[in-house]
Amino acid sequence: MPSPGSNMVGTLQAVTIANPNTTLLDIARRFDLGYHEITEANPAVSPWTPSLGTKIIIPTQFILPPGPYEGIVINIPQRRLFYFVQQSDDELPKVITFPISISRAGWKTPLGKTRLVAKHRDPAWIVPATIHKEHVRDGETDFPTYFPPGPDNPMGMLALQTGFSQIFIHGTNRPWGVGMRTSHGCLHLYPEDAAYLFPRVPPGTPIRIINQPTTVGIQDDVLYMSSGEPVSEYANKQSPANRAVAALFPYTHKKAAKTVVHREIDWQRVFAVAKAHRYLPLPITRGTPDAEQILQSMDPTPYIYEPYDSSANNAVPPLGELLCTGSCWLFK
């Protein structure tokens, strides 16, 4: 968790492409980012064929959702899950964050508060009639009505059941879609992230799902703003500029002026960030380096990892990447 007075975690990073077969999706998964996070942070780079030596920004700095900081909080437009770990009194508070896939067009995840009601290992999936009908309409005439447990199950191999009807937080057999709009209401995790989270989150954990496209952070008395693409299925008629002004209200009204120390806001930057939907937090305090100055000043390190192979394209965590212990599987 951040120091008092801040609500930001992580740091920006940069790498250079050292392997001609590396894609932005390989890099995103290695750094636990979603598709939109890595592509919007590098809008001039081909996702599939980045050139050797290309500098890639790794947007591993995040603005936390609004409190309370407890249990699981999911910000749909940010496409991020935050798990605020319950620690003992003598332990420092900790937050773990993962990228998620959200609902495809025409579907949406319920907003509000619920709890984790059950955990399912190796779930089977009986396809709801509405979902099956959609797949058939889209040309998948042989789409099954039942998926048995296993690595090809769209529910993944581990699933957390929320109190919202038929809404799960689960792994996926199509991990390269993490960060995109791929679900019918559930929240999809990389298989390795599902495996990490599954044994650590107890039943009864509070879950809060919010819709906040524009978030504001503060660190070292500097204000930052992050903007994700709004989800059209939620009624929100505000313009990007109005969303930005509303998000800044807690930092600009008179009561906040007594408790929050910051310099003058650069409103031109504010409106540019709100409109761009680049996901990564960027400074909006006047006199601080702008986005391009920050990104150009970063010293990259070579990205030396091999690309993921076809064995990583299912619901099983890639070999060597499973970090969970206890009741979870053990992969070598």
Quote the CA–CA distance of 38 and 29 in Å, as a whole number. 9
Per-residue 3-state assignment (H helix, E strand, C coil) for the chain: CCCCCCCEEECCEEEEECCCCCCHHHHHHHCCCCHHHHHHHCCCCCCCCCCCCCEEEECCEEECCCCCCCEEEEECCCCEEEEEECCCCCCCCEEEEEECEEECCCCCCCCEEEEEEEEEECCCEECCHHHHHHHHHCCCCCCCCEECCCCCCCCCCEEEEECCCCCEEECCCCHHHCCCEEECCCEECCHHHHHHHCCCCCCCCEEEEECCCEEEEEECCEEEEEECCCCCCCCCCCCHHHHHHHHHHHHHCHHHHHHCCCCCECHHHHHHHHHHCCCCCEECECCCCCHHHHHHHCCCEEECCCCCCHHHCCCCCCCCCCCCCCCCCCCC
Burial (0-12, 13-18, 19+ Cβ within 10 Å), 282:
buried
Q: CB neighbours of 275 closer than 8 A, spacing ≥ 6?
A: 227, 240, 241
Residues identified as active-site: 170, 186
